[in-house]
Amino acid sequence: MPQPKPHVEMYTDGACSGNPGPGGWAYILKHPKSRRVQERSGGERATTNNRMELMSVIEGLWSLDGACRIDLYSDSQYVCQGLNEWLDEWIARGWKRPRNASIRNLDLWKLLDELRRPHTLSCHWVRGHNEHPENERCDRLAVAAREEFSP
Q: Catalytic residue, from 66, 94, 129, 131: name it.
A: 129
Q: Catalytic residue, from 24, 75, 119, 134: name it.
A: 75
**Phi, psi (degrees; rounded to nearest 5) at 150:** -80, 145
44 is catalytic: no
42 is catalytic: no
Q: In b/e form, how buried is each residue of 67-99, taking b as 16+ CB within 10 angstroms? A: ebebbbbbbbebbbebbbeebeebeeeeeeeee
13 is catalytic: yes
Strands 69-74 and 120-125: parallel
14 is catalytic: yes
Q: Catalytic residue, from 24, 53, 114, 148: name it.
A: 53
113 is catalytic: no
53 is catalytic: yes
Q: Catalytic residue, from 14, 43, 60, 82: name it.
A: 14
Positions annotated as catalytic residues are 13-14, 53, 75, 129, 139
